[in-house]
Structures are given as C-alpha cells and as structure tokens.
C-alpha cells in the first residue's frame, strides 16, 4: 500500500473514497487460472437481420436463438421471436428471469405492467403468469436470461410441462443438425 499524500490519494493511485488502484496498460503476466471456462462473445445480437436458420423453432410462429447455455449454473440466455398474437404460455419460474424487449411488446395477464420496446423486466422466482402478445404486434423479440425452469401450469397452478437449459440445448442441437450446421454448432454457446 502506498502512503497517503496531501490530496488524499496514495502512491498507487487509490484515494480515500475510492480504494481501486489505477491500472497500467499492461496485460496480466501470470498463468491462466485452472479450470476457468472460456469467455463467450456473440457479436451483433441487437442486429436481428441474421441468418434465418439460426432461429430454432419452438412452437408455431415462435422461435429462439441461443446465446448462452450455462449448464454449470442452470441458466440460459436467448432471443425469443414471436410472430403471432395471443397467449404464449402460462408458467411458473423456479429462478429469476431478466427480459429486455428489443421489438414489439407483451404483458402478463396477472400484472398491470407492459414489457415494451426498450424496457427491461425482472421476473422473480415463484412468479406465475400468463404471457400474451397483444393484437397488432406483428413481431416481438425479447432477450431473455432465464435461470432454472419454466414450469408450465394450468390455471390452478398444476404442472403440465417443463423447460430449462437442457431442453433448450436439446432442441437447438436437433435444429442445427437438421439445417446443416451440425449438432455441434451449439457447443460454442455452452459453458
Ligand atoms: Fe415468465
């Protein structure tokens, strides 16, 4: 630690209010830590004009594009594209969900808020809701970060289906195999 100077900063650049030392433009010289997964960068995800075959069909007029399958922490990040109006699903979340709306809008029948273009929504674990895309929205695209599972439920909350990082991964593998990219195309998105 450097000694304090008269203006409150220290020799290594740390200040009394900000203890973060100034970094030099010198890369880390040491060994890479063991067992650290590779970084993952997927360029251009806000530009939706990418190859159609990257969209994985999920239901009629509903597709997703994987960005990250985090099998070691049980979450996934993807783009969801919907080209129809109406009810998409009723579900319960076992973990937290973050949603950033890139295009269109949607809402849950149970809540009075709307997820509109440019909005970010947080859905807490345990929330049970019914997703509707309203009439007049030709296309909705949302970036989702989903931890845990979607547990699809009937109106009383009884489970009728489940989806998680592993089921998303399986359907993406099957689709990319089918369209000629190969099932191992998804490997780049797995951590
Ligand atoms: Fe949800």
Per the DSSP assignment, residues forming a β-bridge with 97 are 123, 146
CATH architecture of 52-189: Sandwich (2.60)
* Ligand 1 center–CA 113 separation, angstroms: 13
| pLDDT for res 23 | 83
CA–centroid distance, 105 to ligand 1, in Å, is 14
Backbone angles phi, psi at 68, to 5 degrees: -150, 130
* Phi and psi angles of residue 168, each rounded to the nearest 5 degrees, phi first: -65, -40
State the distance from the centre of ligand 1 to the C-alpha of 11, rounded, in angstroms.
50
Q: What is the pLDDT of residue 75?
A: 98
90 contacts 153 by C-beta, under 8 angstroms? yes
Instruction: Sketch the domain layout of the chain as residue ranges.
Output: 52-189
pLDDT along the chain (191 residues), means of 10: 46 64 90 95 90 96 98 97 96 98 98 97 97 97 98 97 98 98 97 97
What 3-state DSSP class applies to 12? coil
* CA 3 to ligand 1 centroid distance, Å: 52
Q: Which residues contact 111 (CB under 8 A, 6 or more apart)?
A: 129
38: which 2 tokens? Answer: 């590779």
Question: How confident is the model at residue 11, as a pLDDT?
Answer: 55
CA–centroid distance, 172 to ligand 1, in Å, is 20
d(CA 125, CA 12): 43
* C-alpha span between 76 and 63 (Å, rounded): 15
Q: How far away, in angstroms, is 93 Cα from ligand 1 center? A: 6
Distance from the CA of 92 to the center of ligand 1, in angstroms? Answer: 7
State whether residue 92 is helix, strand or coil: strand
- Give the residue from 81, 70, 64, 46 showing the smallest Cα distance to 189: 70
Q: How far is the C-alpha of 147 from the C-alpha of 95, rounded, in Å?
A: 5
CA of 121 to the centre of ligand 1 (A): 10
123 alpha carbon to ligand 1 midpoint, in Å?
A: 6
CA of 128 to the centre of ligand 1 (A): 7
Q: How far is the CA of 129 from the centre of ligand 1 (A)?
A: 6
Helix (H, G, I), strand (E, B) or coil at 137: coil
Task: State the burial class of residue 20 (Cβ atoms within 10 Å of its Cβ: 0-12, 13-18, 19+).
Answer: exposed
Q: How far is the CA of 158 from the centre of ligand 1 (A)?
A: 16
- 59 forms beta bridges with 62
């Amino acid at each position: 630690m450097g000694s304090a100077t008269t203006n409150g900063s220290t020799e290594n650049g740390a200040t009394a209010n900000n203890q973060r030392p100034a970094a030099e433009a010198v890369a880390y010289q040491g060994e890479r830590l063991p067992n650290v997964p590779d970084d993952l960068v997927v360029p251009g995800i806000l530009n939706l004009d990418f190859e159609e075959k990257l969209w994985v069909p999920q239901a009629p007029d509903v597709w997703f594009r994987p960005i990250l399958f985090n099998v070691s922490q049980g979450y996934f990040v993807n783009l969801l594209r919907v080209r129809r109006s109406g009810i998409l699903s009723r579900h319960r979340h076992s973990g937290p969900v973050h949603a950033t709306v890139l295009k269109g809008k949607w809402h849950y029948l149970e809540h009075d808020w709307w997820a509109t273009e440019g909005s970010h929504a947080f859905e807490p674990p345990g929330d049970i809701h019914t997703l509707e895309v309203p009439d007049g929205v030709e296309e909705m695209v949302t970036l989702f970060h989903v931890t845990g599972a979607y547990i699809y439920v009937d109106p009383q909350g009884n489970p009728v289906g489940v989806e998680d990082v592993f089921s998303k991964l399986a359907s993406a593998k099957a689709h990319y195999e089918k369209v000629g990219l190969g099932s191992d195309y998804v490997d780049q998105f797995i951590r």
